[in-house]
Structure 1
Amino acid sequence: MARDGARPSYDPAGPDHALRAALQELRTGRWMAMRTLLAETAEWPRWTQRTQVLATAAAGTDVVRAWLAEEPGSAHATVMLARVGVERALRARRERHRRTHELWIEAWDAAQTATVAAPRDPVPWVCLLALAQLDPEQRWEEHRAAPPEPVLPPGPWGLLAEADRRDPFNREAHHRMLQFLYVRGGPGRLTEASGYAQWAAGQAPPGSALHLLPLYVRVERYRRDSGPDAALDLHWVVEEAAREARRALESWFDRTRPGERALPDLNHLAHALWGSLQFREAARVFEAIGPYFTPPPWMYRTPDRERAGEVFTQARDRCRAAAEGSGP
């Protein structure tokens, strides 16, 4: 990483140059680069991440539908159509759009079709999991299945199991489960989410991104309960927070190669280590982040969310100084 203190940038592709090129083509209404990229993507974790980023960019266009019209038998295009449908439905829900229910059903149908077209692919099941958060009252039977442990709440456990069966410990699948628990009706939602994150992390093998789930819940709790505050307050320096950060560092960061780490996970880990005053350890993670950053969680530490990059830079500089011996 450059050591000149350059301003960080947000790029959904991060260091994935092939994905960035496909995104540029997609934004001009062309789909061949996306098709080629996905055909060359062999590992499920990267496939899951790339399809998610591509769908975010494609959701406002008809590019994927044009691809499917040209190649109606393409399983990859069918999965991408489900991805796009889910993104549109979730956006509609956030914007309280009148077509939310209609888009939800369309996305559900597309995801079901994708489970048949790509039976070994975890992404159609991740799509169905993502749509579960549109049913916080758990009216659908598949969203109130019995949990694997009595201490966990009922939820879309069958959908999670299908995703896990195809790609064990799939990162996005478990994050979608966490999002469902955030919106699930009733009191104690964050307590349930925290219990789930601890359970999932405890089941995960070394190197799994699920070891970071407790850090995400801590950020969500801070966002809801504490409000934006740039100071390093007691929410972050308590021993439990420090332990969660150290555990994620040792169980995930120290057990993975650079190309296996998602940028949101790196940013959450750097934020947690910085917040718990473990500056030297955080400096290692900032080094791995490089010139890119993700607005969450930094945006929650300032009243002006547009200044997330400044918070990131200040934290990075503070941790670098400690690592270089000019600070405690």
Structure 2
Amino acid sequence: MTRPVYHPAGTDEALGFALVELQAGRWQPTRDLLSVTGEHWALRTSRTQVLAVTAAPSDVVGVWLAEEPDNHDAHVMRARVGVERALRAHQQRHASTAALEGAARNAALLAARRQPRDPVPWVCLLALARLDGRQTRREHREHSGEPMLPSGPWGLLHGVGQRDPYNREAFHRVLQFILAREVPPAASLAAVFDFGRWVASWAPAGSPLLLLPLYALVEQGRQQALPERGDPLWRHQWAEEPTIRYTLDAFHHWFAHPDPAPRSVADLHHLAYALWAGHRFVEAAEVFTAVGAFATREPWASVHEDPRRADGGEALLLRARRESSAFARSHGHRGAPRY
């Protein structure tokens, strides 16, 4: 059986090439990639986010901006890198967090003014909202208009939506903001579930936002101790309503959509886990076939049941793939994966 391949670019070969060059300090392939990406906003959003993770430890984007100060993509990447650095500093409780957050915010605002149609600078502002757990900024405590949802950066989300409706990263950034609020964990989880269900209730066919309820349930596993995840009742809920309905909706109306957009490897793995845990092995086998050897640490690291293992959930991934494949083959399913 093929071992999982963990690569930030996933199936995006053009992005993979740009990442290699960026690590070597060569920014020109990144410029060319973003130029070709153009106004394919969903692809632009995902590519700039992955590029920023690779570029953040170096000054390669700063060198690019110095060489081409009028290039809008360079300004967007400066904002993206700034956000990534601020988030890392916050996670490490570093004293530089506030300064890095301010620099990233200014870079995002400048990029937004330079190209008003581009949703990525607005996504950057949404990402920074996660650092404001106390909701001190007015833009982070606006009323949602939905009684079940807490105050939050709804105006920023609306700003993204005006430029790119149903932007995947924007909604995931709001989910992260809800979890980061300084409220009791139970309240955060309840709000995340409400948010995921609300989005899934109106997300159109073909949208990865249909998976948000699954992400919300994985967050529950992430916040639980490993022995609690081993409780059979925790996995059993994936086979019950309403979770199995959300899972099958995502399978039929996103994964099996006749003309799907490029799909996130993380989304595919969340769906594969939900199908396997919900005992829908034939459908899980189809998703594993589609994703191939490409893998992500999540959701497996947050849902694996054995606290003695230190493999980050990879054993559970391999088990789920193996069991789904075997079940699909035994039932004569032609799409069963072969590794």
Answer whether TM exceeds 0.5 for this pair: yes
Q: Quick one: structure 1 residues 228 and 260, their matched pair in 2 at CA, closer, same or farther if it must change by over 3 Å?
A: farther
Contact 2:254 2:260 in 1 (8 A): no
- For the residue of structure 2 that corresponds to 1:296, the secondary structure is coil
Aligned to 2:36: 40
Contact 1:204 1:211 in 2 (8 A): yes
Cα-to-partner distance string for 1:282-323 (whole Å, 9 max, x where unaligned):
001001111101010111215345343332111101000000
- For the residue of structure 2 that corresponds to 1:33, the secondary structure is helix
Contact 1:299 1:308 in 2 (8 A): yes
> After the TM superposition, which of the residue ranges 269-278 and 169-178 deviates more from structure 2?
269-278
Distance 1:146 1:128 in 2: 18
Residue type at the aligned position of 1:181: I
Distance 1:226 1:202 in 2: 30
Q: 1:316 aligns with which of 318, 321, 328?
A: 321
Residue type at the aligned position of 1:143: H
- For the residue of structure 1 that corresponds to 2:191, the secondary structure is helix
Deviation at 1:259, TM superposition (A): 5.3
Aligned to 1:19: 15
Distance 2:127 2:88 in 1: 12
Indicate whether 1:135 and 2:140 are aligned. Answer: no
Cα-to-partner distance string for 1:139-159 (whole Å, 9 max, x where unaligned):
000001110312211100000
Q: 2:272 aligns with which of 253, 270, 275?
A: 270
Distance 1:292 1:153 in 2: 36
Aligned to 2:335: none
Distance 1:34 1:228 in 2: 44
Matches within 5 A, 1:168-183: 168-183=165-180
Aligned to 2:114: 117
Distance 1:237 1:34 in 2: 45
Distance 1:48 1:132 in 2: 17
Indicate whether 1:87 and 2:84 are aligned. Answer: yes
Distance 1:219 1:50 in 2: 24
Extract unaligned runs of 5+ from structure 1: none
- For the residue of structure 1 that corresponds to 2:311, the secondary structure is helix
Give the CA RMSD over aligned residues.
1.7
Contact 1:79 1:118 in 2 (8 A): no
Cα-to-partner distance string for 1:49-71 (whole Å, 9 max, x where unaligned):
00000000000010111101011
Residue type at the aligned position of 1:277: H
Contact 2:229 2:235 in 1 (8 A): no
Compute the TM-score of the two structures, normalised by the length of structure 1.
0.94
Cα-to-partner distance string for 1:214-246 (whole Å, 9 max, x where unaligned):
000100101213536775832232213322211
Indicate whether 1:306 and 2:314 are aligned. Answer: no
Contact 2:150 2:191 in 1 (8 A): yes
Aligned to 1:253: 255
Q: Which has the higher contact order (CA 8 A, sep 6+)?
A: 1
Compute the TM-score of the two structures, normalised by the length of structure 2.
0.92
Distance 1:208 1:217 in 2: 17
Cα-to-partner distance string for 1:176-206 (whole Å, 9 max, x where unaligned):
0000000112231110111011111112111
Q: Quick one: structure 1 residues 74 and 309, their matched pair in 2 at CA, closer, same or farther if it must change by over 3 Å?
A: same
Cα-to-partner distance string for 1:236-261 (whole Å, 9 max, x where unaligned):
32213322211211221111546521
Aligned to 1:60: 57
Distance 2:124 2:155 in 1: 13
